[in-house]
């Protein structure tokens, strides 16, 4: 029986290998390939996404689609993929990954608006306008570039960070320059923009970046309810937000705590993270959209959101020692790893689907570059915790 979101005509129009992937997912999860194998495969897929980007510019293709093939480069996620690539370069002592990171950064410098912002959407999409959220994500890449390669990327980093300060409202929210590719404007998930400013503050501490970031974090906390729920926290549906955007706001809170050690940020993160535990099952299933009572609103999984939240749980385990966070994160990471193919065509091997099953609403029939990035990050943190506990 086809999923409700997949009409019979659409199913028949799919290429044979896409129909085969639908059938594969209907059979359920595969075996867990393990952390090392999955990370190697996911990293190789990200490398291919840079090489096969339809725009051939040094950025990373937004996705590979079973319907349309490789997409053009996506500035926003290329920005925060850079720190992951640099981490992998150090971990595996791979000089080619340093070169790839520099190609990404050089390309981002070349497409920066004169005032400092970056476009929303993929290369070639319109309207071609600077967007707050995307700029904050690219800022993470520039900050890591300054740390790794020196001052060559500092001017672009400062330009982006200064622009974010210039458009921030006095209460800490960002209401201007919202993305034209989503329904809503100011949102608590802009804590992920604040995180970008915190990374810039680590390498440029005297320019007011941290202060602006914390103003936004405090504004976001006005949206948090007593059960940990955040109002207005989605790209398209505030009543049933994606775990992806919930993961964004939660990570921003954790990074604010990591930067300041201010207990109010930790307590706020724990409220949301604890509530999220009730939405996941022992096998790691976490519905891709949740309602205000933390109940699943869909039957598919947003794999990106799952590993984002798993990473947050692992971080909170490190801060609190609460095993429930560790165990839930291990289960969710294992679930997502079990959806990743270690065989088949190179275009999909090691890629992470937008949804499981692949016909789900988020990134339908697509393998998303940021899903792979967040899986690698969460796997690396899981491995470091496992290693520490066996020493």
User: How do residues 322-336 score in pLDDT, each as one tens digit?
Assistant: 999 999 999 999 999
What does the CA dihedral 253, 121, 44, 350 come to, rounded to 10 degrees? 80
User: How do residues 203-262 score in pLDDT, each as one tens digit?
Assistant: 999 999 999 999 999 999 999 999 999 998 887 888 999 999 999 999 999 999 999 999
Q: What is the pLDDT of residue 262?
A: 98
**Residue in the block written with tokens 């672009």:** 156
Q: Are 300 and 361 in contact (CB under 8 A)?
A: yes
d(CA 192, CA 312): 13
d(CA 40, CA 275): 32
Q: How many CB atoms lie within 10 A of CB 366?
A: 22
The domain ranges of the chain are: 1-69+240-391, 74-222
pLDDT at residue 2 tops 50: no
Listed range (173-187, 288-302, 357-371) with the worst mean pLDDT? 173-187
Alpha helices by DSSP H, listed for the chain, are 8-13, 16-26, 35-51, 75-92, 95-111, 132-149, 154-166, 191-203, 209-221, 243-260, 263-277, 303-320, 323-337, 369-390
Q: How many CB atoms lie within 10 A of CB 26?
A: 13
pLDDT at residue 304 tops 60: yes
d(CA 119, CA 343): 35
How would residue 11 be classed by pLDDT, with cut points 50, 70 and 90? low
DSSP secondary structure code for residue 153 in this structure: G
Domain 74-222 has CATH 1.50.10.20: yes
In whole numbers, what is the pLDDT of the chain averaged over residues? Answer: 94
Q: What is the pLDDT of residue 22?
A: 87
Q: What is the pLDDT of residue 10?
A: 63
Percent of the chain beyond pLDDT 90?
89
Enter the tokens of residue 280: 């996941």
Closest CA relative to residue 326, chosen from 307, 311, 342, 341: 311
SS3 130: strand
Per-residue exposure over 178-201, b if at least 16 CB sit within 10 Å of its own CB, e if not: bbeeeeeebbbbbbbbbbbbbbbb
How would residue 284 be classed by pLDDT, with cut points 50, 70 and 90? very high
Mean pLDDT computed over 123-149: 96
**Residue in the block written with tokens 């165990």:** 327
Length of the chain: 391
14 or 2: which leads in pLDDT: 14
Rounded to 5 degrees, what angle do the CA atoms 255, 87, 50 make?
110
Enter the tokens of residue 138: 């690219």
Q: What is the pLDDT of residue 12?
A: 58
Give the strands of the sheet with 63-65, arranged side by side: 69-70, 63-65, 366-368
User: How do residues 181-212 score in pLDDT, each as one tens digit?
Assistant: 766 668 999 999 999 999 999 999 999 999 99
Q: What are the φ/ψ torsions at residue 366 (nearest 5 degrees)? A: -125, 150
Q: What is the pLDDT of residue 1?
A: 40
d(CA 35, CA 334): 8
Rg over alpha carbons for the chain, rounded to the nearest Å, is: 20
User: How do residues 39-76 score in pLDDT, each as one tens digit?
Assistant: 999 999 999 999 999 999 999 999 999 999 999 999 99
What does the CA dihedral 228, 281, 371, 178 come to, rounded to 10 degrees? -30
pLDDT at residue 3 tops 60: no
State the pairing for strand pair 63-65/366-368.
antiparallel
Q: How many CB atoms lie within 10 A of CB 232?
A: 15
Mean pLDDT computed over 312-326: 98
Q: Are 340 and 306 in contact (CB under 8 A)?
A: no
Q: What is the pLDDT of residue 180?
A: 81
How would residue 179 be classed by pLDDT, with cut points 50, 70 and 90? confident
d(CA 190, CA 370): 17
Q: What are the φ/ψ torsions at residue 364 (nearest 5 degrees)? A: -60, 125
Enter the tokens of residue 331: 């289960």
């Amino acid at each position: 029986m086809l999923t409700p979101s997949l009409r019979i005509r659409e199913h028949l129009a799919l290429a044979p290998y896409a129909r085969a992937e639908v059938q594969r997912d209907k059979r359920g999860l595969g075996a867990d390939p393990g952390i090392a194998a999955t990370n190697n495969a996911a990293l190789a897929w990200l490398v291919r996404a840079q090489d096969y980007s339809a725009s051939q510019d040094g950025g990373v293709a937004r996705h590979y689609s079973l319907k349309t093939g490789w997409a053009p480069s996506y500035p926003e996620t290329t920005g925060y993929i850079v720190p992951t690539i640099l981490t992998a370069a150090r971990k595996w002592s791979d000089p080619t990954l340093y070169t790839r990171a520099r190609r990404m950064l050089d390309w981002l410098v070349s497409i920066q608006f004169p005032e400092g912002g970056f476009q929303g959407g993929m290369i070639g999409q319109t309207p071609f306008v600077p967007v707050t959220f995307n700029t904050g994500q690219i800022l993470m890449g520039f900050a890591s570039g300054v740390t790794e390669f020196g001052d060559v990327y500092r001017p672009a980093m400062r330009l982006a960070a200064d622009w974010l300060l210039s458009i921030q409202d006095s209460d800490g929210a960002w209401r201007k320059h919202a993305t034209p590719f989503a329904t809503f404007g100011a949102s608590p998930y802009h804590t992920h923009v604040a995180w970008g400013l915190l990374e810039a503050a680590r390498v440029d501490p005297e320019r007011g970046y941290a202060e602006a970031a914390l103003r936004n974090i405090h504004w976001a906390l006005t949206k948090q309810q007593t059960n940990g729920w955040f109002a207005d926290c989605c790209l398209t549906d505030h009543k049933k937000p994606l775990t992806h955007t919930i993961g964004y706001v939660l990570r921003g809170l954790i990074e604010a705590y990591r930067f300041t050690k201010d207990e109010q940020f930790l307590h706020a993160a724990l409220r949301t993270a604890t509530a999220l535990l009730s939405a996941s099952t022992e096998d790691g299933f976490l519905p891709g959209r949740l309602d205000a009572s933390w109940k699943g609103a869909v039957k598919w999984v947003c794999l990106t959101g799952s590993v984002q939240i798993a990473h947050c749980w692992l971080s909170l385990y490190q801060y609190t020692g609460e095993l429930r966070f560790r165990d839930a994160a291990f289960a969710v990471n294992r679930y997502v790893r079990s959806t990743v193919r270690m065989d088949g065509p190179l275009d999909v091997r090691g890629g992470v689907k937008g949804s499981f099953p692949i016909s789900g609403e988020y990134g339908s029939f697509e393998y998303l570059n940021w899903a792979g990035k967040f899986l690698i990050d969460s796997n690396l943190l899981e491995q470091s915790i496992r290693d520490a506990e066996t020493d």
